[in-house]
Structure 1
Amino acid sequence: MLKRLRESHPGYLSEQKTFEEYAPAAIAENKKFGSILALYGAATYFDIESYENVERLMNPDGNYFLMFYRPGYYPEHLYSAEEIDLIKSKQNYAAISAAFENKYLFSKYLVATNLQLDLEVFQL
């Protein structure tokens, strides 16, 4: 998918690193972004310690939209039992609730965002 992105939009920057690999250098270089997206469960794999880096990397008027797996949902059709155990060990809904402004339930996902959406609000 990243290859297709580069081919379709050659004038735009695309990084092929994990958020944890990319964020410290970007913060050190004072890079800022208008949008930070982690779709379809990708945010599930962020280290809890890196949550604060999302807002550090935002432009003042920027937006973030992060999709974590919803509580109780693990994509068993994609992962082995060992991989699902790893996913479960990374999920910390209290940390997500504390770190991000708005939390919503959407299908199989918990969305953390600074946008106001017309979705079911997530509460611990």
Structure 2
Amino acid sequence: RYLMNFLQIETRLVLLSELDVKGRGTQLLIEICKAMGASTFLVQGQAQKFLDAKLFQEDGIELRSFRYIPPIYPQLWGDFLANLSTFDLIFNCGPMARDILMRHQPTILGF
């Protein structure tokens, strides 16, 4: 929640235990989508190979993939080191962290 507050993210968080859903793997994800009223499920890169796209289609949920290229930002020591945590961005850039993240939106792709 600290990150959400600092980055001014107002998305509502829902715990799985708050939903009345059952299942495993792809079926559990589909049940979560249905419980939340979602018509699209976004999956990043290689994670899609673990999903059964046919099951999503049968339940009328669009499966889309996305590609996210992390931003390059000033770091205090040496060359830029990619793929660190959001805390690294905040520690190095302070209040500008949100603006840096907002300029680097993911690219939504087909499936």
TM-score when scaled to structure 1?
0.32
Compare CA radii of gyration and give the structure with the larger one.
2
TM-score when scaled to structure 2?
0.35
- Quick check: which one's strand share is greater? 1
